[in-house]
Chain A
Amino acid sequence: MHKIILRIVLDIGIVIAVFNGWWFIVLPLSFVGIWLLPFFIEIVIAGLIYDSLFGFVPEMGIWGYVGTLTSIFFLFIIALIKGNIR
């Protein structure tokens, strides 16, 4: 039960931070989520929302997709580390 509450709290924090463009708050919250909770796909959704709101402009090139790419990278890396040490 407490994991569900933790997940909801993290998700609310992540949504507020993403809407304000505070990626430096989204990342630590997401790391906590990935580490403590199973299958924390919210980080990828957060990256996608960040890019949808502030990126996805052709002029930005690859930087316009940095949120989605970074979130997938961290999800993959932390999930891999978790899988190996647990």
Chain B
Amino acid sequence: MTYLRTNSRSAQHRTRAVIAASTGIVIVIALIHIISPNLISGIWTAIARPFWRIEFSVESGAIRSIETLVAENEELRRRMIEIGARLDTIHFVELQNSELKYLLERTISTSTTNSILAAVLERPPFGPYDELIIDIGKDKGLTVKDKIYAPGKILIGEIGAVLGKTSKVILFSSPGNKYEVLIGPRHVPATAIGRGGGQYEAHVARDIPIKEGDFIEVPSLSDLPFAVVTSVISDTAQPFETILFAPVVNVYQLRWVLVEKQ
């Protein structure tokens, strides 16, 4: 009796070819990556960069009508005047704060004049890690671990890899990253864990009064306020409550960041 074969030889050969090709590719890539860690990244980033620049320009309004841009310009000027008035008050408070810290022999830098402005070219969504791609790299002398600030001197991450004309920024909120933080006006110590998307969480005893809007400090990273409490999740059955917090800026809406060179 004759039976039809369920597997054809060509299919088996195809599967073997796929396995062999995949293995070959992995070995070649691994070798190249070991010899020159930034070579493959540099090539693909150089190819992608013009497309990212075009996307950035389009999102920045490069193809909008002149009337729309003029109206937006007027609106921004009006808001700048309002913000300028408020900024004067903030400067006064900052000055007062610096003077007090100086009197207590504790000085910090609040200036961003030594920082380099960088455009955020890409923010891969739903990635396994929190990351931004910025448009400056070795060409501006950046190095790994340079600090990244959102406008307003808000520390959000550090440089993870530097390529020719781009850099990869790893945000502090990358899932699993842990930091010792101080929460609220009573400086309650806790361990914060990055949750991705610019979000963090920490657990503190339920009887400690913490409310939304309280500032978070991370002494190991910055002397300035790091984030604010966005939510307090309390369960009467549990001895601890969960504190969720995030920087005052949405890291995924950032178009520009400041890089402070080490």
New A-B pairs, 14, CB < 8 Å, besides A54-B127, A56-B40: A21-B124, A24-B126, A44-B22, A52-B41, A52-B43, A54-B122, A56-B38, A60-B160, A72-B22, A72-B25, A76-B22, A79-B15, A82-B14, A83-B11
**What residues of chain B lie closer than 8 Å to A21, measured between beta carbons?**
122-125, 127
**What residues of chain A lie closer than 8 Å to B125, measured between beta carbons?**
21-22
- B128 close to chain A: CB less than 8 A: yes
- A23 close to chain B: CB less than 8 A: yes
B17–A72 touching, CB < 8 Å: no
Find B33's partner among A19, A39, A56 (CB 8 Å cutoff). A56
- B7 close to chain A: CB less than 8 A: yes
- B224 close to chain A: CB less than 8 A: no
Interface string of B109-148 (1 = CB under 8 A from A): 0000000000000111111110101000000000000000
- B170 close to chain A: CB less than 8 A: yes
CA distance A4 to B5 in the complex (A): 29
Interface residues on B, range: 35 or more
Tell me whether A20 and B129 are in contact in the complex, defined as CB-CB below 8 angstroms, given that A39-B17, A39-B18, A75-B22 are known contacts: no
Find A39's partner among B14, B29, B41, B126 (CB 8 Å cutoff). B14
Number of residue pairs across A and B with beta carbons under 8 Å? 106
A38–B43 touching, CB < 8 Å: no
CA distance A48 to B44 in the complex (A): 9
A-B contact pairs, 21 of them (CB 8 A): A20-B124, A23-B124, A23-B127, A39-B14, A39-B21, A53-B44, A53-B45, A53-B48, A53-B133, A56-B37, A56-B41, A57-B131, A57-B168, A58-B161, A60-B128, A63-B128, A64-B129, A72-B22, A83-B12, A84-B6, A84-B7
**What residues of chain A lie closer than 8 Å to B48, measured between beta carbons?**
19, 53
CA distance A46 to B2 in the complex (A): 44
CA distance A23 to B17 in the complex (A): 25
- A80 close to chain B: CB less than 8 A: yes
**What residues of chain A lie closer than 8 Å to B12, measured between beta carbons?**
83
A19–B51 touching, CB < 8 Å: yes
**What residues of chain A lie closer than 8 Å to B8, measured between beta carbons?**
86
A20 CB to nearest B CB, Å: 7
- A41 close to chain B: CB less than 8 A: yes
Find A41's partner among B21, B43, B133, B160 (CB 8 Å cutoff). B21
B161–A66 touching, CB < 8 Å: no
**What residues of chain A lie closer than 8 Å to B7, measured between beta carbons?**
83-84
Tell me whether A59 and B133 are in contact in the complex, defined as CB-CB below 8 angstroms, given that A21-B127, A76-B19, A83-B11 are known contacts: no
